[in-house]
């Protein structure tokens, strides 16, 4: 398992001249978000990055990101470019939670600062997971950030 710190993550993505164009998120275990009391079976870019931004702000020991300032640009600055998904089922105490598994390719729009934030949050997903019930094994992610 890889170990890192919030400071190291910020340094890796913020103190670099590298421009990031996209990221590949490999959802290794069933991933779902709860929307209007229903489980989602497809990923949505704005839900993914809103979730990751909130996780960063809740747990970061290095510094919070202004959610009121960043949320709208983040949602407008990324879209799902490609995917190869299949439905997954996660059983929990007799309840079957439907979600998705597989690969999602996120394309970043051309804004260098926003690309750094999106790359950072994408990479961070490997440490937090995505969506609901990550503490129980759902939402496990591997990430590849592409220059």
**Per mean pLDDT, which range of 36-40, 65-69, 118-122 is the poorest?**
65-69
- Between CA 60 and CA 106 the distance in angstroms is 24
Please state, rounded to an integer, the average pLDDT across all residues of the chain: 90
Could you tell me which of 147, 131, 146 has the C-alpha nearest to residue 48?
131
Taking the C-alpha atoms of residue 44 and residue 64, their distance in angstroms, rounded to an integer, is 23
Q: For position 1, what pLDDT does the model report?
A: 65
pLDDT at 53 exceeding the cut of 70: yes
Residue 51 contacts residue 131 (beta carbons within 8 Å): yes
Give the separation between CA 24 and CA 145, rounded to whole angstroms. Answer: 6
The mean per-residue pLDDT over the stretch 17-39 comes to: 92
64: confidence class by pLDDT, cuts 50, 70, 90: confident
The tokens of 84 are what? 């190869």
Phi, psi of 60 (to 5 degrees): -60, 135
């Amino acid at each position: 398992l890889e170990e890192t710190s919030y400071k190291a993550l910020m340094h890796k993505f913020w103190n670099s001249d590298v421009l990031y164009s996209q990221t590949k998120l490999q959802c290794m275990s069933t991933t779902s978000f709860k929307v209007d009391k229903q489980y989602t079976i497809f990923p949505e870019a704005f839900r993914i990055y809103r979730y990751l931004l909130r996780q960063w702000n809740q747990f970061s020991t290095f510094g919070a990101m202004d959610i009121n300032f960043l949320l709208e640009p983040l949602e407008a600055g990324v879209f799902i470019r490609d995917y190869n998904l299949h439905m997954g089922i996660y059983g929990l105490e007799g309840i079957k939670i439907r979600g998705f598994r597989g690969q999602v390719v996120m394309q970043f729009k051309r804004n260098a600062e926003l690309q750094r934030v999106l790359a950072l949050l994408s990479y961070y997903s490997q440490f937090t997971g995505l969506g609901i019930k990550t503490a129980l094994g759902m939402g496990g992610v591997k990430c590849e950030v592409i220059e």
